[in-house]
Structure 1
């Protein structure tokens, strides 16, 4: 083999060797690059896992705090329900008793010949039309027919008020201990129509006086026929029968005309049961306090949810 051929062979072998060295270096470099990328991925994955754990713990803390607030809210709601259960039950019993009372009075009045008696169950009113107790315009005196009807009304009221009174005069020490629904007050309410003298100021003054006088005269006539009604007392030992005048401020109808005015000139009997006044301001305050606390807890829960969304990112 000639020297030229040897030199050519050596040159090709060197080139092949350099090529493989370059390929090896490149593969090693790529391997290192892959290892570096794998390490970066592992680090990022670990960081992501740590972030997920942090977010999970943060959200769990928010959930736990919300759960505590929810439990507190449920406790307060149960307390509100317990607070109002007694008054609601007492009011329901009183409403049922008053409905029976009104129905009993109406049927007894009709049996006595007092017709066109209306009942307003929602407000506890027995409405006596002008046919039952008639007053002439601008007059408060009872005519003979009205006196006769008032005497019948008194005879109906006496046994019913006795049945629903807490006690009687002379035994007032036992009034507060009466159990069950009893009468607090029976108002004899006088009403006028909106007519009268031309001057509105004087007309208003006259109608207030007129309505009160009509109620008072009816009251006196009832007691004259059934004086025992003075003895019946509520739980506070106060006389049950009372009077009130409302002028033309509570009309049955706002229409004008003699028939409508006659409807508005009337006497109402308003029955107020004890349960309607026994549960008063203290119960309302207790319920209001609990309601305010519940509202604050709910607002705090909403605030926690908003804070948790920002804090746990």
Structure 2
């Protein structure tokens, strides 16, 4: 794999992990509730079986009750925080879908036909827009002209979805969802040697990037909140085919360029607060379990 691919894939993997963070947090919350209910049921069952309830047991029961109320409050707070972050994620996805649709409309008006995948944030340059002959990384004259049109459409739309400009010392901190990265992704078909295909796919992405940069240098001025350039490249060899068949038609389709738009989601401070809350809940649950064990003579 090339260095472009290493960097691009690492950044993308990190972002995909961020996008799945809130769903994982929801799953964790459900699991904690499940464990909590089981613990209370076991405690209640054991308590009913006790025929000699001592003052110490009553004290421990009261302590467990208080601990349970604390955990319930923590869970309510966590659920509210996760709910707000999920709303922000939904908003980011809708903003990205609007962005893709606007770019697609502008390109169709110029006779350049692309496909969009709003769920995954992909603008796909089909063989009607950019076609690569087998084993060739360079753009044809027709493909070059289309990439220039794509670059123009990007610069007409993308600045409204971008947080920072290189020449501007301030960034947009209004909380409006913005783009974190636009990956220019190169792909090959399944023919040829795998090692060659990694280089080939990355070269296709790099050549597309260079053509865009030459056509619209201002695209390189767009930055995310971390002050990193928006436009980047990655290569995937034949690992992400659109049609997983060993046919010529499939090969023609799979040799392509995708533009993947990744949104900036979640405020780091909010995420840190959620993680801290889960740790506090873990401590409360440990204390609750300890109180139950003592009441049961363990």
Shorter-chain TM-score range: 0.7 to 0.9
Note the aligned Cα RMSD (angstroms).
2.8
Relative to structure 1, is the Cα distance of residues 265 and 75 closer, same or farther in structure 2, using a 3 angstrom cutoff?
same
Which stretch shows the higher mean deviation, 252-261 or 118-127? 118-127
**TM-score of the aligned structures, taking structure 1 as reference length:** 0.70
Match of 2:74 among 69, 73, 76: 76
Structure 2 counterparts to residues 264-283 of structure 1, below 5 A: 264-275=254-265, 278=268, 282=272
Over residues 94-140 of structure 1, what are the superposed CA-to-partner deviations in whole Å (9 max), with x where a residue is unaligned?
Answer: 1121121122222222222222x322222211112122111110001
Shift in alpha-carbon separation, 1:276–1:189, aligned structure 2, 3 A:
farther
CA contact (8 A) 1:175 1:236 kept: no
Report what 2:136 is aligned to.
139
Query: Deviation digits for residues 25-45 of structure 1, max 9, x if unmatched?
Result: xxxxxxxxxxxxxxxxxxxxx
Distance change (3 Å), C-alpha of 1:177 and 1:208: same
Q: 1:204 maps to what in 2?
A: 194
For the residues of structure 2 that align with 1:207 and 1:281, how far apart are their CA atoms? 39
Q: Residue 55 of structure 1: SS of its match in structure 2?
A: coil
What is the alpha-carbon distance in structure 2 between the residues aligned to residue 164 and residue 300 of structure 1? 51
The runs of 5 or more residues in structure 2 that have no matched partner are 1-49
Query: What is the rounded CA distance, in whole Å, between the counterparts of 1:128 and 1:108 in structure 2?
Result: 14
Contact 2:182 2:231 in 1 (8 A): yes
1:243 is aligned to 2:233: yes
For residue 185 of structure 1, report the CA deviation from its aligned partner: 0.7
Kindly indicate whether residue 160 of structure 2 is the aligned counterpart of residue 170 of structure 1: no
Aligned length: 249
Calculate the TM-score normalised by the size of structure 2. Answer: 0.74
Match of 2:115 among 98, 114, 118: 118
Runs of 5+ consecutive residues of structure 1 not aligned to the other structure: 1-51, 197-202
Contact 1:118 1:127 in 2 (8 A): yes
SS of the residue corresponding to residue 136 of structure 1 reads coil
Query: Is the contact between residue 61 and residue 292 of structure 2 (CA under 8 Å) also seen in structure 1?
Result: no
Q: Is the 8 A contact 1:73 1:297 kept in 2?
A: no
CA pair 297-281 structure 1, distance change in 2 beyond 3 A: same
Aligned to 1:31: none
Distance in 2, matches of 1:179 and 1:101, equals: 17
Alpha-carbon distance, 1:84 to partner: 3.1
Pick closer, same or farther for the CA change 1:281–1:74 going to 2, 3 Å.
closer
State the Cα distance separating 1:287 from its structure 2 match.
5.2
Higher Cα Rg, which structure: 1
